[in-house]
Amino acid sequence: MTSIVVSSQKGGVGKTTVSINLAYAFARAGWNVLLVDSDPQGSVGLSLTRQSRKLLGFFDYLGDEGRSFDSLIVPTRMETLSMVPAGQGEGYELGGGYSESVAKRVDAFLGEAEIKGYDICIMDSAAGLFGITRDVLVCADAVLVPQQAEPLGIRSIPKMLQGLTELRSQNEKLQILGVLLTMVQRDLVESAEAANGMRQLLPSAMVMEAEVARDDLFLKASGKGVPVGVLQGATSLLDTFNSLRMEIESKLGLSR
């Protein structure tokens, strides 16, 4: 199994949107996918089911060694896509340092997911490289970094990538897939300049070729509790995430 964390230095860059729709793209391609909400805010669950606040999930597993992995799984309408919400567990400081005991539970969680036959585990995470997000990253195989195409975003990315590079001292297998430009508005000068500036700032291998455009359909999809690809008129967005999926498959050497 390959675990991919969707992580960013700051909030509001589209981590949850990317996580949901990337998981859907992998599932449509025939991969057996587990979408995990490792953000205490529970954004993935709230985007897909209004009942997620009442469900057990990832943080319950971390806090209870007797918790059954199977009790956390929420099936979807797609046979190849399942979800684990954030859950009811509390006590995980977003600002806390690396916790070896929590990381061991994360590792155990990923191990059980692999035993259950999942091919891909997509994990939405809280902003920053500390607390539970750090614990998740020290166990994961890869990390994808969404970044909104706006001027201030360019300034935070080098620090984020430096932090991820340093984190690899604790997890040598962690592969940095690259920065994914999100909320791109190519018809808006400021957004286009920010996107182009990011591509000029970083080596080409560190910026994903796919770009996620700003589109009201993402809001409509969230309101309906579905991935955007199932909506009418979302063909171009579906193509974007399919392209992103194939790009990630190529970088990680994944094949069915």
Which token pair is 63?
């806090």
User: pLDDT per residue over 22-59, tens digit each?
Assistant: 999 999 999 999 999 998 887 776 666 666 667 889 99
| Whole-number Cα distances in Å, 207 to 37, 90, 203 | 24, 35, 7
Query: How many structural domains are present in the chain?
Result: 1
What's the pLDDT at 50? 61
- Tokens 């897909």, residue located: 48
Given CA atoms 239, 243, 249, 250 in this order, what sign does their dihedral have? positive
User: pLDDT per residue over 199-216, tens digit each?
Assistant: 998 899 999 999 999 989
Local confidence band at 14 (pLDDT 50, 70, 90 cut-offs): confident
Give CB contacts under 8 A, 24+ apart, made by 194-200: 194/149, 194/150, 194/151, 194/153, 194/154, 195/149, 197/151, 197/154, 198/147, 198/149, 198/153, 198/154, 198/157
**How far is it, in rounded angstroms, from Cα 12 to Cα 3?**
23
Beta strands in the chain (DSSP E): 2-6, 33-38, 74-75, 81-84, 120-125, 142-148, 175-184, 207-213
User: Quick one: what percent of the chain has pLDDT higher than 70?
Assistant: 92
CATH number at residue 99: 3.40.50.300
Beta strands in 58-191 (DSSP E): 74-75, 81-84, 120-125, 142-148, 175-184
Distance of CA 61 to the CA centre of its chain: 19
User: pLDDT per residue over 67-114, tens digit each?
Assistant: 999 999 999 989 999 999 998 765 554 444 447 788 899 999 999 999
Domain that holds residue 142: 2-252
Q: What is the mean pLDDT of residues 173-193?
A: 93
**What is the pTM (predicted TM-score) of this model?**
0.93
**Which has the higher per-residue pLDDT, 11 or 254?**
254
